A = this chain, B = another copy of it.
Amino acid sequence: MPKIVNRDHRREQLAEAAWRVIRREGMEGVSVRSVAEEAGMSLGSLRHYFATQSELLSFSMRLVTERVRKRIVSSRRSGDPRVDIESLIGEMIPLDPERLAECEVWLAFVGSTPAHPELRSLCEEVHDALYGFFRSIVDSLLALKLVKSGVDAELEAMRLHALVDGLVVHGVSRSPKATPAEIMRIVSYHLDSIMTQ
């Protein structure tokens, strides 16, 4: 009986191997060859899942937002909007090794766009997906009438998006002042500033 291999699962395993190479060696270390080796697979087998290096890279980058999206969708709601929103934002911040890995991969991609303009449209796609998350957070706060007056939905979502991306940069660079607790203190301070008490 032939072994049944779930194609999607195998593609995720290969993308995770790409993540490990990126985190260990930087974007410069990634090739179909190095990722196949990292995954303990032949180059020919890898080609069965990703025809080109570009396809492998795209899938690896999109997997970052896909993982965040899945955690957000499956997270349990407490019923307290403030608590839930902090925990949703926390899903995008390097608070544990899993999220740190995702953030490091994201930042490696974004930081290499000047030298690799072919990655720009991919980064833009991820940027738009993340903006969508933040916009939905702001929209839900507005729907619940939990924001102070003067809040502009679009600008507020753009501001929250930039703030969180900046906090991710600080978390990834592991500044001693950017511990998970300090990062969440800033998120909380920010939410205090826009939400009614």
List residues of A whose CB falls within 8 A of some B CB.
22-29, 104, 107-108, 110-116, 120, 123-124, 127-128, 131, 150, 152, 155-156, 158-159, 161-167, 169-170, 172-177, 182, 185-186, 189-190, 192-194
Contact = CB atoms under 8 A, between A and B. Distances in A.
Judged by DSSP, the binding face of A is helix
Nearest to A155: B189
A178 to B, nearest CB: 8
A169 B169 contact: yes
A175 B124 contact: yes
A108 B111 contact: yes
A159 B120 contact: no
Given A28-B28, A124-B176, 6 more contacts: A22-B114, A23-B115, A26-B112, A107-B111, A128-B175, A155-B185
